Each structure stands twice: as structure tokens, then as C-alpha cells.
Amino acid sequence: MRTRPNVMRFFHVAAVLALFTCFGCAAREPRALATPPSPAPPPTPASAPPPASAEAPSTVVEKVASTRVVVTGILLRRDDGIEVCPGQWVDACPGIRVEGKVEDAWISARGKLSVWRLSGRFDGTTLVLDGPAQPTTLTQEASYRNSCPEHQKLRKGVNPDLDSLEKVQAFMREHAERVAGHWWDQARQTLVVSVTGDPTELRQRFAERAPGARVCIQGQARFSEAPLESLRVKADAILRKHGVVWSSSGGDVVKNDVLFEVEAIDAKTRAELTREAGDAIRVQAFIELLEHDLAQMPAPPKRGDVALVTSTWRSGGGMSALGRFSVHYDAELRCVYFNASGERVLPVWPFGYWAATNPLRIYDYDDKIVVQEGETIELGGGQVDIEHVRADNPCGAKQAWIGRREATGGAAR
């Protein structure tokens, strides 16, 4: 099972909806336990600012042929070579081909996973290494251990008692200006409330209200929730200004910061984030440009003879429903659409998909046929109104299906 850090993560629907491109076209206040007791309601979504790529650049910037980058991910051996993929999935992915000396010890496989920082020159398709890989990690397991000496004994149990939880939530509302977050130390059966400054007075107040409760109020957090959310909004505006596409953002209550997962970022944008938000903002990037602006990053060559609307990030994140559609080509409008019970639906394909006609064939990022004209495809994702998708040609559809990269086609007709 894949594990992720316990983060109050906002998969903002707005971000999911707008970050798409036409491939082949011409030219918080959430409060949630960091380890929520089960059962527990999901975190309340924060109202999101416009997504990072919603605003197109006002001027056309010429792409460079190649640029120096650092790519962070896992190395996988394929039939035709080696590629680096984002995240920590040992599966098919829309990765980047790697050329140069690659040690066998760097290669990941099922049961053997390692993440590397790779430096070299990138031309939009291939990374040519210019030095040895450097080991790194994408996430570090957070420690949920409370800091109160009286609550260090290990205890059996699963969830906090409801009475203590209700009192903690009321106490947090009263002292919202100091509360940085809260989580559940399950191993010690203790609710933890993180606050800014010296926690002594707040500990005394809570002890008077709930004597004997297994609650640890610990201090010295750098940011309470509202200021941290303000920094998240500021960081999102900076990313949007520079055209950085992010697939998720969220506040980590244990680390008391905000993590953005992005497809690519340049040095100028990182410097501005540091200057404006300090270390309150972490950015985990698949591609980091060292020499040029993001707008100058080389693009892969266009393939196929018909435009597809595709995701602009490689990760498999997003909505997780399962749709079943027949695939069709409108020769007059020169576009691809799904048929769903007689209604047209615009498909938003995963990153790297492309299409050719006569007859229509949809290919994935590995140039394998996913589905052909008239066949039925099952595609994970979710449905949204067409105005939420940036598409030059909606192909007569009023709805769009934002697809994930897990797709099976051709079996049913």
C-alpha cells in the first residue's frame, strides 16, 4: 500500500478543473486531525483561489531547445530504455527518457523503491545526465508523538472519546488566533493541540475545563492557521503569476507549513516564494529549471493529426469515479468526444495522450493504443461542466470528463 504523509490536503476542484491543455493544437479554514480517528468526516475544503495555470501568459515566449534541470523521481527500466517518473509509483507513467550512465542500484522495482535527484539537460523529451544521481526523499514520515511528559505511556485504543474531542474543538474556536492545528497521537491515546508561543497558560485553562482528559497542548508553532492560510494564498498567487501548474496544495499540521506539489518550477519563482513566504511554503517539483524561465522550457514534439485536451501534470491525482463511454470522432469539427447515453462529453485525457485519425486511434504516453473509434473505454476521473475546462474546441459537449491515467479500452463494444 502506498503511504503518504498525514496532511490536510486540499485537492481543490478548481485546480483540477482548469489545468488542461490542447495537445496537438496549432499555434482553511479546515480543521482536521492529522491522523483522523475512524470513522471521521473528511476535512472541509478551503475556498480556493484561481488555479495556478488559469491565467495564460500575455505574451508568447520562445521555447529553448534544451535547458539544465534537476528532475526528482524514481528511475524505472523499460523495454526501450530507462525513464524517470514522478511520485513513488512503480507503474507505467508519462515519464522522461533518461540517457547517460545509470547505475543498477538507482533503478526502482516493486519492493525496492528509491527516489533520486537527477541533473542534466532536458529537451522536452529526454534528460541527458551530466553527473551522478543524488538520493533524496519525497516525503518524510511525520511523528505524531505528543510532547507532554504526563502523556507518554503507550495505551491501547483507536479513537479519542467524543467528550474530549468536543471540548478540544470548542477550546480551539475560542483560541483560534493561536491554534496551529491538532492531531491524534493514537499510540498514546492523546489528542494534541499545537499552538503558537508558550502553551502554559492554555494548558491550565484547558485542565480546569476538562480535568484528567488525555489532551496535550504543545507550543512554539510558528504559525497559527489563519496566517498560514494567508501565506498559502500568497504562494498560490506567485505560482499562478509564473505559470506554475500544481496538482495539490495543503497545510501540514505537524510540520506547520504548506506543501505544493508541482509539475515544474524555475529558480526565479522559488526565489520569490522564499522571499515572500520564507520556509512556510514547501514546493515538491518533478522538474526544476536551473537556467531559464518556466515559459521557456522545451516542449515535446506534437504528435498526431487531431487535437486532444490533456492534463498538464503527470501525476495520477484527481477525482476517482469510474466512467464508461464510447469514443467517437467528429470529422467536421475535428475533435474527439465521448457518447454518454446520447449526450456528448468532452474527454480530458491524461498527460501525454495523443490521437491520429483514419480511423481514430487514441495513444497513451508510451505510444500504445488505448482505444479506437467506436470502442468503449473505462476511464477513472470525474465529470464537470464544460466551462470549467479550458478547451478551444468543446466538440459540442456541455460536460467534460477529467480522466485519470488508469484506463482500459477496446475490450467492450
Domain extent at residue 364: 308-412
Give the pLDDT confidence score for residue 129 in this predicted structure: 98
For residues 16 and 137, state if they share a domain.
Answer: yes
Confidence band, pLDDT 50/70/90 cuts, at residue 42? very low
The CATH number of whichever domain residue 379 belongs to comes to: 2.40.50
For residues 252 and 279, state if they share a domain.
Answer: yes
Evaluate if residue 266 carries a pLDDT over 90: yes
- Predicted TM-score of the model (pTM): 0.80
**Listed residues 210, 239, 259: the one ending a domain:** 210
For residues 164 and 68, state if they share a domain.
Answer: no
**Listed residues 210, 240, 256: the one ending a domain:** 210
For residues 43 and 175, state if they share a domain.
Answer: no
- Cα torsion angle, 234, 235, 241, 247, sign: negative
Query: Cell numbers of 48, please?
Result: 480556493
pLDDT digit string (tens) for 310-323?
A: 988 887 556 678 88
For residues 82 and 119, state if they share a domain.
Answer: yes
For residues 196 and 260, state if they share a domain.
Answer: no
* Cβ neighbours for 167, distance < 8 A, ≥ 6 positions apart: 206, 209, 210, 213, 215
For residues 71 and 25, state if they share a domain.
Answer: yes
Number of domains in the chain: 3
Distance CA 28, CA 385 (A): 25
Distance CA 386, CA 16 (A): 13
Give the pLDDT confidence score for residue 193 in this predicted structure: 98
Residue 301 vs residue 234, higher pLDDT: 234
Q: Supply the mean pLDDT for the chain.
A: 84
Give the pLDDT confidence score for residue 48 in this predicted structure: 38
Confidence band, pLDDT 50/70/90 cuts, at residue 357? very high
To the nearest 10 degrees (0 to 180), the angle between helices 225-241 and 267-277 is: 150
**Listed residues 253, 272, 301: the one ending a domain:** 301
**Strand duo 115-122 + 126-129: pairing:** antiparallel
pLDDT digit string (tens) for 338-349?
A: 999 999 999 999
Instruction: Calculate the CA dihedral of residues 72, 76, 77, 81 and round it to 10 degrees.
Output: -40
Contact 322, 378 (CB under 8 A): yes
For residues 236 and 378, state if they share a domain.
Answer: no
Confidence band, pLDDT 50/70/90 cuts, at residue 406? low
For residues 131 and 270, state if they share a domain.
Answer: yes
Q: Determine which of 52-61, 73-82, 105-114, 243-252 has the lowest per-residue pLDDT on average.
A: 52-61
Evaluate if residue 410 carries a pLDDT over 50: no
* Cβ neighbours for 37, distance < 8 A, ≥ 6 positions apart: 158, 159, 160, 165, 184, 186
Evaluate if residue 50 carries a pLDDT over 70: no
Confidence band, pLDDT 50/70/90 cuts, at residue 33? very low
